[in-house]
Amino acid sequence: MTNNLPESAVVEMWQQLMDRAGLTTEGGEPIRIIYPGRKNDRRGADFRDAVIATSQGITKGDIEVHVKSSDWRAHRHHQDPAYNRVILHVVMWHNSKAATNLHNGKIAPILALDKYIGSSSSHWPRLVHSPVSSSMPCHKTVKGLASDSLAQFLDSAGEERFSARAAQFQDELTQTEASQCLYQGVMEALGYAKNKLPMLKLAKRLPLNILQSMTQGEISGQERLAQLQALLLGTAGLLPSQRQNRHQGYQDDKWVDKLERLWVSSSYTKAMSKDDWQLFKVRPNNFPLRRIAAVSYLILRYRGRGMVAEVVDMIKETPLSGGYLRLENGFRVTADGYWASHFDFGLDCKRDNPTLLGRWRAADIAVNVLLPFTLAWSKFNSQPLVERKAFALYHSYHRLAINAIERHMMNQLGLNSSLVNSAQRQQGLIHIYNTLCSQGRCHCCPLSQLEAGHHIQV
């Protein structure tokens, strides 16, 4: 046994063995890796959205990788609820009698690799330096396919995702007023992957009509912003008084004092917990406080006719050629005052950083919220011209900033950016991942049913 084997080497080794038959856990149970998941970019286990099969059936969750099984307790994962989704503990050597206990009381099975690849380090370089993606059957299939077939496959998947998003909004419109429905969609999108749920929770706990009522009356724009931010951030549980020992540089700050006073004097709703929010590995520009502050500016911007009327008119009037800039500009936010120079309360920017909501996030909102919402709204209100325009804008939308799932899928399929050159194809990758890969449905994927050179049937 060697004591200096890096954990990254164990990661590479187990993924090369994922399609091997005859794997058994340390408890003697046969196990099959259906999908290895993707590398985690947030707190918790090493791989997210994995799928395994045991005698108990199909299980979906996370996979944690260690050199030795004793590392689980050494790293205190048994005390961390972020590891409660672990369904398999992969190790090079099982060197401890202790089970892989999760914080919630469950036990994850252990898969030790040494019995399958041998203890001789001469085997490791070949495994470690083999491309991980090459072991996936879809990667091998894609290599022999014509680019037009792949493009058709991605376009079709992107169309399905767009229609599914619109159907979800249409269902919500039967139960929720249109402006609240759109507001919730925007708030969820502003949460990124890590804070989508708390942002949606905040939107439901603090409805748009309450916030809009605060924009009325004969008061200045700065006073309206202060009232909106106090209520939004206070309800989120993110004011300094609600987060002890977060940052200490906000004493004697007039804007912070103003927000605190306004929050204390309000009686709208109960605050969320600061623990609802994920701040681990979140870039300062993406801190939820800055995104929540951006919402206050958007509410003021659309306080006249309302966000729904403005968005629908924007889409009606936006030309197909280059029109995406109009949609993005409608949701870009530049701050003045406090948030132009702070990432968080007491956390100054090194230089002025007034952009609260930039082009790429606005583009993501346009594709994932504004266009599918408008499609749903147009169907709900029998507006076929608006419906066709929403579809046309989506089909012509330029490529967005790449996210972690898209990057993972491009690597898995061996694709490059020259093929994934539109928002629709990027959305297609996300749809394939969400509905097929992470659900263990490789057998349902068109790529698994192809022979090299054949066209994909969509």
Q: 317 and 385 share a domain?
A: yes
**Contact yes or no for 152/456 (Cβ under 8 A):** yes
Residue 27 lies in a domain: yes
Amino acid making up residue 237: G
**Contact yes or no for 300/221 (Cβ under 8 A):** yes
**Dist CA 148 CA 154 (whole Å):** 10
Q: 97 and 200 share a domain?
A: no
What pLDDT is stored for residue 191 in this prediction? 92
Q: 383 and 340 share a domain?
A: yes
Question: Which of 132, 163, 195 is at the close of a domain?
Answer: 132
State pLDDT tens for residues 416-442: 999 999 999 999 999 999 999 999 998
Tokens of 437: 């890969």
Q: 104 and 167 share a domain?
A: no
If residue 171 lies in a helix (H) or strand (E), which one and from where to where? helix 147-173
What pLDDT is stored for residue 58 in this prediction? 95
**Dist CA 134 CA 126 (whole Å):** 13
CA nearest neighbour of 209 among 118, 139, 303: 303
Q: 196 and 67 share a domain?
A: no
Question: Which of 346, 366, 395 is at the close of a domain?
Answer: 395
Residue 419 lies in a domain: no
Residue 278 lies in a domain: yes
What pLDDT is stored for residue 48 in this prediction? 94
Cα 191 to Cα 87, 334, 357, 371, distances in angstroms: 27, 18, 12, 18
Q: Find how far residue 11's CA is from the centre of its chain.
A: 23
Residue 280 lies in a domain: yes
**Dist CA 168 CA 178 (whole Å):** 13
What pLDDT is stored for residue 453 in this prediction? 42
Q: 106 and 160 share a domain?
A: no
**Contact yes or no for 397/366 (Cβ under 8 A):** yes
Question: Which of 395, 420, 447 is at the close of a domain?
Answer: 395
Domain that holds residue 53: 7-132
Residue 437 lies in a domain: no
SS3 319: coil
State pLDDT tens for residues 105-159: 999 999 999 888 764 445 544 444 444 455 677 877 888 788 898 999 999 999 9
**Which parts of the chain have pLDDT scores under 70?**
1-4, 118-135, 245-252, 268, 449-458
What pLDDT is stored for residue 134 in this prediction? 54
Residue 235 lies in a domain: yes
Q: 82 and 161 share a domain?
A: no
Mean model confidence pLDDT for the chain: 88
Residue 339 lies in a domain: yes
Q: Please give the tally of structural domains in the chain.
A: 2
What pLDDT is stored for residue 3 in this prediction? 55
Q: 72 and 204 share a domain?
A: no
What pLDDT is stored for residue 69 in this prediction? 96
DSSP 366-399: IIIIIHHHHHHHHHHTT-HHHHHHHHHHHHTPPP
**Dist CA 447 CA 137 (whole Å):** 9
Residue 404 lies in a domain: no
Q: 199 and 309 share a domain?
A: yes
**Dist CA 458 CA 455 (whole Å):** 9
Q: 193 and 302 share a domain?
A: yes
Q: 287 and 229 share a domain?
A: yes
Query: Cα angle vertex 388, ends 387, 390, to 5°?
Result: 65
Q: 121 and 160 share a domain?
A: no
Tokens of 61: 């969750």
What pLDDT is stored for residue 22 in this prediction? 87
CA nearest neighbour of 164 among 434, 440, 442: 434
